[in-house]
Structure 1
Amino acid sequence: MRRVLIVMSAADTWTRTDGSRYPTGYWAEEVAAPYERFVAAGFDVDFASPGGVLQPLDQHSADPQVAGPECGRWVEHAENALRKHGPLLALEDVELGTYDAVVLPGGHGPVVDLHQDANLGRVLVDADTRGAVIGAVCHGPAGLLSAVEPDGSWRFAGRRMAAFTDEEEQLFGTAELAPWLLASRLRQRGAMLTDGAAYQAHIERDGNLFTGQNPASSGPMAEAIVAALS
């Protein structure tokens, strides 16, 4: 049986450049859509986060005006999945070599903690070395930044990927006071980023690396991962 590890942020707030604290959490569709597809394919799924902390729901992802008319279903499915799997694994306790895929959903949390989490970096470098699948969607690719080699170079430099764009951050209203913008930072580190239309599904595959631009990309990215693992 294929095993998938979904790594979530533990952050519930995002400190802005003016010192204000912006509430954040996991984005329901980005957890639920991949989980649904992995379970339907017969995969065994675990959840992990820094310290095993269960992040709250990002309430924007439960607002039909923001997240679309299906958001209630995604919220219900995400909450059920997280309840079913009980306490999250602590990232520091994840055993290397265990999973066929490591997947990073978004919400703004990954730009708070996962981008610099050494334990996640350890898991990602191991997965990439083994050729295991790595997936990340929306702000999830911030977690890829944690994969730093001993010489300070970035493991994913030169790789083609998609992520939440600077345009989408501006449209969402969170760009102006952001300490840094994800797409710009990924490019600065050497990613070959491709931008699709704002808030429309867009995914990229570069070898074992699968990435999606925004919440609408969650399901298509997961389907591509399922196809690769099947």
Structure 2
Amino acid sequence: MARILFVMTGADHWTLTDGTRHPTGFWAEEAVVPLTALRAAGHAVSVATPGGVVPPVDPASLAPGAAGGPEEAGRLRHTVETAPEFRRPVAIARVRVEDYDAVYVPGGHSPMEDLAADADAGALLTRALDSGMPVAVVCHGPAALLAAVRADGTNAFAGHRVAAFTNEEERQAGSAAKAPWLLQDRLAEAGLRVETGEPWAPHVVTDRTVLTGQNPASSAPLAAALAERLA
């Protein structure tokens, strides 16, 4: 049995260019699907957030149209509301990386609000990378990698090939014009090598110990890749 730490957002909004707060949170599919798959593989999951707050779910991710129908939306909602992992998070600042075997970061727009600038999250991810453990990140979750800055100012993940929510997907979702910054651009500026797949199609990139997925549809194959790495 491996111990996996989910590093999750604590923000319930995303501040847009005009200063308005767009309600959001973590994207349900990107947390629930990997949680279910990793549990089924016999692994233990814990959750850490900034300050140890309960991670808020993006209500849009629980709508039937986004979740793949009413039945799947209900299943996602049930897990979000009842899973003890989501209800009892610890503070990222209190986490000992050596207590875990892998780190996973789900997306949703909220990581762009808090994890992208969270020094504790950045330090944790840097230690995880340096220890050689798998680091798996999906969709907007790679925003957390932006905080992984070393003492010399370089990004710990610079040079790694990664997948992340693309500029084109942000445009098609209607968010690009309102976004203070675009994830694909910011990752490239930090020295990461973003490899894009077809919009909304599953796309997973593995580079050494870093496993990344492009969008919600990539959650299941990314979870499978992580479980295989831990087997």
| TM-score, scaled to structure 2 | 0.95
| Cα displacement (A) at 1:10 | 0.6
Matched position secondary structure for 1:5 = strand
Query: Can you give the 5+ residue segments of structure 1 that lack an aligned partner in the other structure?
Result: none
Alignment of 1:1-20 (within 5 A): 1-20=1-20
- Cα gap change, 1:121/1:219 in structure 2, threshold over 3 Å: closer, same or farther? same
Partners of 2:160 and 2:30 in 1: how far apart?
22
Please, what is the CA RMSD of the aligned residues?
A: 1.2
Partners of 2:130 and 2:7 in 1: how far apart?
18
Alignment of 1:53-132 (within 5 A): 53-69=53-69, 70-81=72-83, 83=84, 86-132=87-133
Partners of 2:199 and 2:184 in 1: how far apart?
13
For residues 50-102 of structure 1, what are the alpha-carbon distances to aligned partners after superposition, in whole Å with 9 as ceiling and x for unaligned? Answer: 00111322111011223322333222223322x35642100010013111111
- Cα gap change, 1:66/1:84 in structure 2, threshold over 3 Å: closer, same or farther? closer
In structure 1, the residue matched to 2:157 is 156
Alignment of 1:42-53 (within 5 A): 42-53=42-53
Matched position secondary structure for 1:155 = coil
Contact kept? 1:32, 1:75, Cα under 8 Å: no
Partners of 2:179 and 2:138 in 1: how far apart?
19
Partners of 1:11 and 1:86 in 2: how far apart?
15
Contact kept? 1:186, 1:193, Cα under 8 Å: yes
Report percent identity of matched pairs: 47
Partners of 1:24 and 1:186 in 2: how far apart?
21
Which region of structure 1 is more displaced relative to structure 2, 211-220 or 83-92?
83-92
Partners of 1:39 and 1:95 in 2: how far apart?
21
Runs of 4+ in 1 over 3 A off after TM superposition: 83-86
Contact kept? 1:28, 1:71, Cα under 8 Å: no
Partners of 2:66 and 2:33 in 1: how far apart?
17
In structure 2, the residue matched to 1:181 is 182
Partners of 1:71 and 1:184 in 2: how far apart?
32
Partners of 1:63 and 1:96 in 2: how far apart?
35
Partners of 2:19 and 2:66 in 1: how far apart?
25
Which region of structure 1 is more displaced relative to structure 2, 125-134 or 65-74?
65-74
Does residue 1:171 correspond to 2:177, yes or no? no
**When the two structures are aligned, how many residues end up with a matched partner?**
229
Contact kept? 2:46, 2:85, Cα under 8 Å: no
| TM-score, scaled to structure 1 | 0.96
In structure 1, the residue matched to 2:140 is 139
Partners of 1:173 and 1:86 in 2: how far apart?
31
- Cα gap change, 1:108/1:84 in structure 2, threshold over 3 Å: closer, same or farther? closer
Contact kept? 2:17, 2:180, Cα under 8 Å: yes
Which amino acid in structure 2 is aligned with residue 68 of structure 1? G
Which region of structure 1 is more displaced relative to structure 2, 132-141 or 116-125?
116-125
In structure 2, the residue matched to 1:206 is 207
